[in-house]
Amino acid sequence: MVGMLTQVQSLTERAKALGIKFFLVSYTDLLGGTRAKLVPASQMAGVEKDGAFFCSFASNLGLGPEAAEIAAVPDPDSLIQLPWEPTVGWVASDVYYESEPFSAAPRMMLNRVIDQAAALGYTLKTGVEAEFFLLRQTETGYEIADPKDTAERPCYDQLNLMRQFDLISTLVTYMEDLGWGPYQCDHEDANGQFELNWTYSDAKTTCDRHVFFKYMVKTLAEQRGFTATFMPKPFSHITGNGGHVHNSLWQGDTNLFAEGADSGGLSPLGYSFLGGVLAHGKGLAALCAPTVNSYRRLGASSTTSGSTWSPRYISYGGNNRSHLIRIPDTGRFECRMIDGAVNLYLATAGILAAGLDGIKTQADPGQRIDENLFARGDEFPNLQTLPHNLYEAMVALKQDPLLMDMMGELGAKTFLEMKAKEWEAFNAQITAWEMNQYVNI
């Protein structure tokens, strides 16, 4: 419905045309938290010009209590009218500090790498597979919301899916109304786990929609008495939440990964991009799997379904889900180490920076491996493994000059400091801390 009003420029004019009375002016911090102010539509002209002001120290952006405010300047192209409350419009924002782009804000990091790609004539397009659990809170903790959802291998189970038809169908209808093009949804491999897919877009749009999708799922779940979580590994015995992202590089209307692709599915440029991602795989893990809990998913040895579906090695293959990188079809690849806790702005910026570096250096990804690495990974001793825990991932990130430069001095320093505190807190506390920390992801 917003897309029909592209000729209307200002958010104030859009508000009048759409019946919007309030705006959620939102931005994402370094830990992936969504911050917002509710602004009356009558005041949006000033906010659109100068931004909505937030105390810098109050969110995770690395500024102290002595710092001036940051300004969240809404991006009109990101406008989403809340389907369940159409008098409210949500907008993603770019962050400014003292009238300059604030380099440590994740969306600003992505903007910088997108600009670098644009200078070379490239546009990254992405699509995300967002998995989540539906839970119910009890006096002793959290449990699967549906007590009948107990099968050892529940993936694609029709009964379990249709018992949540009200929530799932409402989400799909809302995404259709928003023009996202949802096309499939299913019960996933874990009890109480679901996945919804929508059509790929340019990388920034996909990131904005992913932020809003998580907000929408959580809101609609709460309305039905559930808790929705994207936490990577809420339960030790069943599959965790992935956030797999499909990537392709374009020049105008041409998919450069498909142009001149071989039988393996990618063009020479596509393999160079892929080679860059693999070369920076260890450091990227810190951005793609950013919590202590993430490595319970990546490091899991088994689940009741028979597979963890999460990679252990820095490797790639064809349509093979046992690798870090899967090439499911001509012209795109899927990064499978990304999980539900991801700050997608950060991960996407990292992948694009690594891929552009791969193109620049003509990185060779090596031969693809057409084997089940879950079962036979030990037979390939030359393969590097992904970090085993958050500490190892942070060390790898710190040792990757390209990714540190992509984040900027303050962004990288702040991110590493926050993750060091998380690691220390985890080591000092019992596992219950972990669930309390991450169930709101």
Structure tokens at 48: 């659109």
- Checking if the pLDDT of 113 tops 80, the result is yes
Question: At 435, is the pLDDT very low, low, confident or very high (cuts 50, 70, 90)?
Answer: low
CA-angle at 440, arms to 439 and 441, nearest 5°: 90
pLDDT in the model for residue 163 = 98
Closest residue by Cα to residue 26 from 440, 345, 335? 345
What count of other Cβ atoms lies within 10 Å of the Cβ of residue 414? 20
Rg (CA), the chain: 21
Whether residue 221 contacts residue 308, with contact meaning beta carbons closer than 8 Å, is answered with no
In tens, the pLDDT along 351-379 reads: 999 999 999 999 999 999 999 999 999 99
Residue 429 above 80 pLDDT?
no
Q: Which residue has the tokens 């962050």?
A: 95
What does DSSP assign to residue 83?
T
pLDDT, one tens digit per residue, over 168-182 is 999 999 999 999 999
Contacts of 224 (CB under 8 A, 6+ apart): 166, 167
With beta carbons less than 8 A apart as the criterion, state whether 351 and 336 touch.
Answer: no
Q: Which two tokens stand for residue 174?
A: 């809302």
Cα distance between residue 246 and residue 303, in whole Å: 25
Are the C-beta atoms of residues 280 and 363 closer than 8 Å to each other?
A: no
The average confidence (pLDDT) of the chain is 95
Query: 4: which DSSP letter?
Result: G
Q: Give the pairing type, strands 141-144 and 182-187.
A: unpaired
What pLDDT is recorded for position 302? 85
Q: Name the phi and psi angles at 131, rounded to 5.
A: -100, 145
DSSP annotation string for 218-260: HHHHHHTT-EEE--S-SSTTS---B--EEEEEEETTEETTTTT
Strands 141-144 and 254-255: unpaired
Residue 335, strand partner residues: 245, 325
In this model, does residue 432 exceed pLDDT 70?
Answer: no
32 in Cβ contact with 109 (< 8 Å): no
Task: Considering only the C-alpha atoms of the chain, give the largest distance between any 2 of them, rounded to a whole number of Å.
Answer: 65
Q: For the chain, how many residues are written?
A: 441
SS3 state at 125: strand
Model's pTM, two decimal places? Answer: 0.95
Whether the predicted pLDDT of 7 surpasses 50: no
Report which of 286, 277, 243 is spatially closest to residue 415, judged by C-alpha positions.
286
